[in-house]
């Protein structure tokens, strides 16, 4: 049942504001909060001068082609 509900969220992602929290009632007083992550581009990784940076954390551009929901916690 949960997978069915979560599977429906991407269909509504284009109609919602980024950062909007959507709640899914899983029953028995359990609620799942999901946050909309919009499509777009961002820089992933750490700058070269960041303290504690590892070699595998180089910065690069990432493109999200579709909005999606992610668990809030």
Residue range of the domain that includes 65: 2-71
For residue 11, what is the enclosing H or E element? helix 2-13
Q: Give the pair of three-digit tokens for residue 31.
A: 């609620």
Q: pTM of the full predicted structure?
A: 0.55
Contact 40, 55 (CB under 8 A): no
Tally of domains within the chain? 1
Beta-ladder partners of 23: 33
Distance set, CA 13 to CA 4, 23, 42, 58, 63 (Å): 15, 13, 19, 30, 17
Residue 5: what pLDDT?
Answer: 46
The answer on pLDDT for 66 being more than 70 is: yes
Q: Tens of pLDDT along 2-57?
A: 444 455 555 555 555 666 677 888 889 888 888 888 899 999 999 988 988 887 88
């Amino acid at each position: 049942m949960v997978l069915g509900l979560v599977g429906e969220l991407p269909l509504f992602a284009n109609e919602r504001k980024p950062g909007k929290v959507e709640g899914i009632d899983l029953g028995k007083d359990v609620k799942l909060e999901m946050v909309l992550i919009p499509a777009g581009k961002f820089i992933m990784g750490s700058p070269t001068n960041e303290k504690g940076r590892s070699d595998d954390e180089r910065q690069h551009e990432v493109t999200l082609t579709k909005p999606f929901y992610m668990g809030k916690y």
